[in-house]
Amino acid sequence: MFFTYGLLVLLLIVFAWWFMTFNSLVALRNSIDQAWSNIEVELKRRVDLISNMVEVVKGYASHEKSTFEEVTSLRNRRISTAAEGRDAEQQMNQATLRLFALAEDYPALKADSHFADLQRELINTEDRIAERRNAYNQTVTLYQNMRLTLPSNMVAGVHNFKERAFFDAPDEIVNQVPKLGLL
């Protein structure tokens, strides 16, 4: 009789652990999705700011059509994964660098208060993107640790919890920080 109750208690403990582990994995997966959504909001904000900067620059450098077209095409691009985010980050960084290089060629543009305000907003947005990327990567780390370590990896394997990618900035971006000399 004691053995039966002991086995029943042990089974209840195992089932309770299984459900708690499953729920923790689901919560972490949902947190990753929410963190990615926060990154998307900031990426869209950055693209909108850069698009506004392009409009201001157009008035001063209307012959720089290729840079403007590139920013417009990047603005319309949908990013749904961290890998796509890394690619878009690199392309947007290069377009931004070209935009700032254009601004250097036009002293009146550098003095334009609207352009300077947009630059400040862009710097703030870049800071928010970095913070949100960090939060996303921390959540991915927690999820991956739980998904891959014993004994919770058994629950993750049975319920098919997939690996999530980190959102890292490519080395090209890290090494090419735009110089915002207008501020």
Buried (b) or exposed (e) across 40-52, using 16+ Cβ within 10 A? eebbebbbebbbb
The two three-digit tokens of residue 40, written as one number: 């998307």
Q: Which amino acid is at 183?
A: L
Backbone torsion region of residue 91, taken as left when φ is above 0, otherwise alpha when ψ lies between -120 and 50, otherwise beta? alpha
Helix or strand (DSSP H, E) at 183: none
Spell out the domains of the chain, with CATH numbers in brackets. Answer: 30-175 (1.20.1440.20)
Q: Are 165 and 82 in contact (CB under 8 A)?
A: yes
| Average pLDDT of the residues in 82-93 | 74
Q: How far is CA 11 from the centre of its chain?
A: 42
Backbone angles phi, psi at 112, to 5 degrees: -65, 120
pLDDT digits (tens, 9 = 90+) for 98-154: 777 777 777 777 777 888 888 888 889 989 999 999 999 999 999 999 999 999 999
Tell me, what's the pLDDT at 182?
43
Q: What is the mean pLDDT of residues 1-9?
A: 87
Q: Which two tokens stand for residue 165?
A: 């990618």
Mean pLDDT of all residues in 27-31? 97
Task: Using the predicted structure, report yes or no on whether residue 81 has a pLDDT greater than 80.
Answer: no
